[in-house]
Amino acid sequence: MALLGAAHSLNHSFFLVLPMYLSKIAAEFGTSREAIGLVAAMSGFVYGAGSLAGGPLSDKIGEFKTLIVSLALSGISTLIILFVNDLTGLGIGLFFIGAWASLYHPTANSAISKVFERTIAESMGIHGTGGNLGYMFAPIIIVMMGDVWGWRYPLIFFGLLSLMVSALLLRASPTVMRESQATIKVLELVRVPGLWTLLVYDIAVGLYFRGVEFIFPTFLEDRGFSSTLKGIAVFSLLAVGILGQWVGGRAADSIGFKKALIITSTGVVISLLLLPAIPHIIISVCAFIMLFGFFFYGHQPAFNSLAGSITPSGGRGAIYGILFFFTFGLGSASTAIASSCAERLSLESAFYVMALFSIIALVMSLKAPTQTKCSR
């Protein structure tokens, strides 16, 4: 679980560099923030689409092997960024990073759902907490390294750490993760009752989360926040997310996955409406950090556990791959939507659009299936 937590944090940290230096990268390449947003959306789509292969791959060859491949090759791919000097090169580098990193989430979630069946939500929360614990330091590391050596070097640093974690997993005993059972055809899986409700919920989450993650640092910069203060703000958001993951996991096991999902989805809606609505910037940012950090990350253990509970074990990797694609693949359009709203209208308008998507997620949580024990 410790290695998975480290891998989880690095998997997301790759994609924090661009938002932290969005304006500088756009100026360096002589392009607009909207163009960088489109490149990020492409990378995000690949990051999500690759999970469609990662889930079935982990069902076929085992979670352990798939995780090693994902960590090693995504880490190596960051070296491409060293030679990037235009928007095309940036797109190529991000494509390969996103493609290999995409194998991680469905594989890790499948492994956890099988190994920790009795406390699945709490275990999902611990995995998320471990990821956030390292992930929350990423903005500080990015700013410290990026302001001194340039925006490329934090990305290379995370790549080297990913290679190191891959090597540690290679040395670990394969018995740490159980091998998958006989696989189930995808066409059989999509007929699972309640799954389509979770898929629509997942699309809505991707459509607000990816946009918020991408545009929030720019929102802070536009309000006069320095690079250091931006790093501290994102750090704080993720730190609150640690509490959200832990409480969300325990609450989901206690009150049920669906109830926890409804409560956390409601909190996300409130947070996204408050940020652009409160005129005092310090109050609005602090309220957003506390609410969005807690409720967004708090929804993840409940959602992942609910998805696992309605899915047969032999197809769980494939289902987690499909869900991850809906969040990060189809949801990658959110970065383009958010950056376009910011460029053509205002930064506030981007958050109101994200709030609309979060309301859709809330409605779908009310229609979600109810189950608290994993399917065999």
pLDDT (tens digit per residue) in 101-134 = 888 877 777 777 666 666 666 667 667 666 667 6
- Domain annotation covers residue 177: no
pLDDT confidence of residue 315: 63
CB 71 within 8 A of CB 172: no
Quick: pLDDT tens for 249-272: 788 878 888 888 899 999 999 998
- Kindly state whether residue 121 falls inside one of the protein's structural domains: yes
Coil, strand or helix at 84: coil
> Residues 45, 241: contact at Cβ < 8 Å?
no
Mean pLDDT value across the chain = 78
Per the domain annotation, does 43 fall within a domain?
yes
DSSP designation for 256: -
Residue 135 lies in a domain: yes
CA pair distance 107, 181, nearest whole angstrom: 14
DSSP 173-192: -GGGSPPP-S---HHHHTTS
Inter-CA distances, 19 with 66, 67, 140, 227, Å = 28, 26, 13, 11
In a domain, 304, yes or no: yes
Tens of pLDDT, residue by residue over 137-147, are: 777 788 889 88
Residue 197 forms part of a structural domain: yes
Count: domains in the chain: 1
Backbone angles phi, psi at 345, to 5 degrees: -115, -85
pLDDT of 313 over the 70 cut: no
Grade residue 241 by pLDDT with cuts at 50, 70 and 90.
Answer: confident
CATH number of the domain bearing residue 162: 1.20.1250.20
Q: Diameter of the chain by CA atoms?
A: 56
Q: Please write the tens of the pLDDT for every residue from 176-230.
A: 444 444 455 555 556 666 778 888 888 888 888 877 877 787 778 877 777 778 7
Domain that holds residue 197: 2-169+186-366
The answer to whether residue 118 is domain-embedded is yes
The pTM for the full model equals 0.66
Q: How far is CA 295 from CA 180, 197, 199, 215, 265, in A?
A: 32, 20, 19, 19, 7
Residues 134 and 132: their CA atoms lie apart, in Å, by 5
The neighbour count for residue 283, using CB atoms within 10 Å, is: 11
Classify the C-alpha dihedral 103-108-111-113 as positive or negative.
Answer: negative
- Using CB atoms within 10 A of its CB, is residue 181 exposed (0-12), middle (13-18) or buried (19+)? middle
Whether residue 179 lies inside any domain: the answer is no
According to the model, what pLDDT value does residue 330 have?
66
pLDDT of residue 351: 83
**Token pair for residue 162?**
């990913």
